[in-house]
Structures are given as C-alpha cells and as structure tokens.
Structure 1
Amino acid sequence: MARRDLSLLGAHMSIAGGYHRAVERAAAVGCQCLQIFTKNSNQWRDPEVSEEQAGIFREAMRTSGLRAAISHDSYLINLGSPDQSLRDRSVGALAAELKRADLLGLDYVVVHPGAYIDGSVEAGLHRISAAIDDIHAAVPSARAKLLLETTAGQGTNLGWRFEHLAAILERVREPSRLGVCFDTCHVFAAGYPIHQPRGMAAVLREFDAVIGLSKIRAVHLNDSRAEFASRVDRHAHVGQGKIGTEAFRRLLRDERLAGIPMYLETPKGTDAEGRDWDAVNLELLRKLARSR
C-alpha cells in the first residue's frame, strides 16, 4: 500500500499588493497551507481590513486548494516586558491581530511568548500569562487561537524551554484558546538535539511529557545557520544548515504529527538555476516525506 502524505506543507508569503496575493504566491509554488503577516511586522500601526478585502482573501483561499492559513504576530510585541506602556501596547496589538485573523478566516496567530528584559524568568512567565488573559478578555468571542512559538532563546526571550510554555499553559485562565507552534530551527538552537540519529524522536517524547503533542497546531520547517545550542535564531534552507535533512525526514514521517500544517520560513529568492527557493524546499520536503 502506498504511503499517504502525512503533512500539509506550505510557506510564509508576502501580502504585498493585497492579502489575496499571498494566496496566489503560495499556490504558484505548490503550497498546501499559508502563513502571512496581516500588517507590517515592524510597525505598530494597525491597518483597517475592509470586509471587501477580507472577502477577496477568503474567496482566494476557497478556490486555491490551500487547506489552512495562519498569521504571525508583529515582531514589536513583547508580552513579557516589565515596561507597563510596552506591555499594554502589546496586549492591544495582539487583540487587534486576533480580530483581523477572524475577519480573514485564519485559524491561528503565532506569537513569540516574550522577553523578560530584567528581573527573573518567573516574573516574565507571570507577566506573559497575565497578558494573555487580558487579550482573551478583550476579544472573548474570537475564533482564532494563539499559538505560543518555541523560541531560540536569544537574550532574555522566553519559550526556549518546553517548561516555559507549559508554565504559561498552566497559568492562563483559558488554556483551550492556546496551542503551540514547533519551530525546528529554534528548538535546535535552544539545545534540543533533533539533528542526532535518535534525537527527533527523543525531543518529541520530551515535548509530549512536558506539554503534550496534541498542543502542536503548526510547525515551522527551518534549518539553522547557527550552531546547536547557540541560542541564536538564523534560518537556513532545508538541508543547507546545521540540522540536516535526516531530522526533517523523521519529523515529516512521524505519524503523531499527521495532518498538522507545516510552514517554511526560509530565505526568499531563487537558486543558482533560477528556481524559486520555496518551491525547491517544498519539493525536497515531499521527497523526504516519501523516503524511508
């Protein structure tokens, strides 16, 4: 019997020219799922999304064959900040992001947990949990859910240990409105040995014991330019970084992750032969998923 494809594979795409253009770009390179920024990721300004714009996007998704779409939050947001002004601004921005996600028909919003800046890890985790409660209170009927992303752990960023995410999930009032986005580059850089022969299986077992694999609702498929346990976040094309192709093959063939949408966040552009890098990476991933 032929092996069925386990995973939905896609990529992060630009919304330049309109939200629907991201769908067109995704379909053109063979994506089955799509991640976008709903706004400029390096600005606080929240754009007004008209019902017409949202309708065009939803129709593009319906006719494209893509089966899932999510967004990623702004890089300026820091739910763990001890600065009350930044914390409040972050809460407002993420609540607005959930509203846009609902309007566009997105399932999830990926969010970096936050950095504690000064003080302690414990204080930072407390601030993040409280901020998420405030976000949920601000948009009580939001359908889209937040996905806490595993991080590389640069500086004082939290989320680089599975225990950080578990602590947040345990403390928030509505844990059912949260999930996790598992980023391969970040996990590797944080010191989880997914590159080793038995590493991916061991890391997923640890994740299951600490958090539960059922909480993983999205995966970011990124190789790493930085060394193992460096706590440096530098994405690379699949198989062209320090993780290597075997780890991706094992992840893609793991039945426990069947059906979970997986998204590339690898560098854009074309290779030496003029092929779109997203298409190249997706082709390689599909070959790895079919191989033994």
Structure 2
Amino acid sequence: MNNPVGAHVPVAGGLATGGLKYAAEIGAEAVQVFVANPRGWALPEGRPAEDEKLRARTDIPVYVHTPYLVNVGSPTPDTLTKSIAAIRHSLARGHALGARGVVVHTGSSVSQTYDQAMAQVHEHVLPLLDEIPDDGPDLLLEPMAGQNNMLCAKVQELGPFFDRLEHHPKLGVCFDTCHAFAAGHDLAAPGGVKETLDALVATVGEGRLRLVHTNDSKDPCASGRDRHENIGAGRIGEQAFADLFRHPAAAGVPFLIETPGRAPEPHARDIATLKRLRDAV
C-alpha cells in the first residue's frame, strides 16, 4: 500500500514557500494547509505565484482545511451564511492550488434539533458540491469527537450526511483517529481499527475514505475530548496506526499528522514513526 505520510504545515512566508520548506524539514510526503485564518471569517485572495508553486508539486498531495468556525448546522443565520462562504472560498482556493480535498468539520446543531440542522446541510452543502469542477477538490467530511450536540461523531453517523447529500461523487471522508477514539471507537483494542473502518465502508461505501488525520489521543476512549498526542505517546498507541495501514479501505490514502509540538523535531519524529509502521506492512 502506498500511503503518503505528511502533516498540516504552517505557511509563514507564503503558502507554498513556507509550507513546502517545512514539509521538507520534517520529511512530509503530503501537506494540509489553511488558506484563511482558522479562527476568523476573513476570506483572503490567493497569491497566484504561490498557488502555482504548490500546484506544480504534483509529487506532494495537497489538502485544505476550512476554518474552525465553520458550522453548517448552526441556528444562527450569520454563522450559517459565513460558513457557506468559507467553504466555497476554501474549495475555490483549493482548486487554484491543485488540492485533492477540502476538509470540513461536520458541525453541531447547537440549540436547534438534529433534523433542522441536517435540513440545512442538504439545502446549503449540496449546491456547493454541484459547483465543484471535475478537476476540483473533493469535499471531505470530518466527524467530530462527540461533545456539544455534534451532528456526527461515530462513523455510522456519516450515513445521514451521505443520504442528504445524495452520495455526491465529490463527497468523501476525512477520518481523524483522535476524534474517532474520543467518540467511542476503541482503536486501541484488538481488532478495533478493522471494526471501525469496516463500519465506515459499510456506511458510506468503498472509496469514500480519502484522507486520514493520524493523531494519538491524550484522553481515554469515549472521553468526548479532542486532545491530540504524538504518535505512540497517547492512549491509542502505535499498533492501531500499523493496523490502519493494513486495512484495505486505507490503500493509497494519505496520512497527515496534526500532533503537538513546535517545529520541527516532534513532527519529524511522528512522520518517521508512521513511515516505519507503513514500511513494515
């Protein structure tokens, strides 16, 4: 199985210049970037020269993560409007820089009902999927850790999303190991990874898993707490990540770390660990 191993990279100094420099320092074979402030609503224009540098690196798969504030399930009209604009912006910027996918959190209903929130998903996200050109990035749904009226935490809860989004061909899944563990998928237990990914495939179909966020967890299974730890240093442990590389659903899928630590040593070590586990398969 050929799984590129990479990381979410900082882009100080330019989206490509800074991001690719950091990727080289830590040995990343794939990268994920923000194209806007992750904790704000501003939607900056791209820098064509930087976009082209990243687009030209066809040897490095690129992914975009939408801002953390995005929540299509929000009952607040202003938040909903800004969320849709932010997703559209990330998709357009992702297309400009040749990204394979744009990751979006599945969100929370906050104070409204689940059905009301999911109706918004259908009404507002399906048109975004239809806007994506054939050579544009996929929209990758990332289930959450399970707290605060989250619309999707367990992989089985992706089913209603895919139903309401009509199993659109540009729709995929980003599987975050820390989120899944926090939501109650015991990846550390014998057979836990296989059981979880089997359930994911049974829910959304083959070929929909298009990215894995490989993060260990500071907290125990079913904690509902999304606190990432370095690979092998948390409650999930190395064996689960080795099992991920072995599962057929993950064949060829990039694995990206979002682990703690300042550049570059801990991230280089995490990537080296994942490469060792991958190469042992």
- Alignment TM class, shorter chain as reference: over 0.9
Counterpart Cα distance in 2 of 1:88 and 1:134 = 14
Mapping of residues 161-200 of structure 1, within 5 Å: 161-173=154-166, 175-200=168-193
Checking the alignment, whether the CA contact within 8 Å between 1:133 and 1:174 is kept in structure 2 is no
Checking the alignment, whether the CA contact within 8 Å between 1:224 and 1:242 is kept in structure 2 is yes
- Name the counterpart of 2:8: 12
Mapping of residues 1-292 of structure 1, within 5 Å: 5-20=1-16, 21-59=18-56, 61-62=57-58, 65-66=59-60, 68-136=61-129, 139-141=131-133, 143-173=136-166, 175-269=168-262, 276-291=265-280
When residues 160 and 266 of structure 1 are mapped into structure 2, their CA distance, relative to the original with a 3 A threshold, is: same
Q: What is the CA deviation profile of residues 100-144 of structure 1, one whole-angstrom value per residue up to 9, with x for unaligned ones?
A: 11111111100001110013223222222322024235x353711
When residues 219 and 226 of structure 1 are mapped into structure 2, their CA distance, relative to the original with a 3 A threshold, is: same
Checking the alignment, whether the CA contact within 8 Å between 1:8 and 1:33 is kept in structure 2 is yes
What's the offset of the Cα at 1:221? 0.2
Counterpart Cα distance in 2 of 1:93 and 1:204 = 30
SS for the counterpart of 2:169 is helix
Counterpart Cα distance in 1 of 2:123 and 2:107 = 12
When residues 161 and 100 of structure 1 are mapped into structure 2, their CA distance, relative to the original with a 3 A threshold, is: same
Q: Which runs of at least 4 in structure 1 moved beyond 6 Å after TM superposition?
A: none
Q: What is the CA deviation profile of residues 183-234 of structure 1, one whole-angstrom value per residue up to 9, with x for unaligned ones?
A: 1110010001111011111111111212224110000000001111011100
Checking the alignment, whether the CA contact within 8 Å between 1:6 and 1:257 is kept in structure 2 is no
SS for the counterpart of 1:151 is coil
Counterpart Cα distance in 1 of 2:276 and 2:49 = 39
| Residues paired across the two proteins, number | 279
SS for the counterpart of 1:11 is strand
Counterpart Cα distance in 2 of 1:186 and 1:200 = 13
What's the offset of the Cα at 1:251? 0.8
Checking the alignment, whether the CA contact within 8 Å between 2:216 and 2:231 is kept in structure 1 is yes
Checking the alignment, whether the CA contact within 8 Å between 2:55 and 2:99 is kept in structure 1 is no
What's the offset of the Cα at 1:58? 2.4
SS for the counterpart of 1:176 is coil
Counterpart Cα distance in 1 of 2:265 and 2:271 = 10
5+ long unaligned stretches in structure 1: none
Q: For structure 1, which segment, 245-254 or 183-192, has the greater mean C-alpha deviation from structure 2 after superposition? A: 245-254
Q: What is the CA deviation profile of residues 25-51 of structure 1, one whole-angstrom value per residue up to 9, with x for unaligned ones?
A: 112211111111112111111111132
Counterpart Cα distance in 2 of 1:48 and 1:291 = 43
When residues 174 and 196 of structure 1 are mapped into structure 2, their CA distance, relative to the original with a 3 A threshold, is: closer
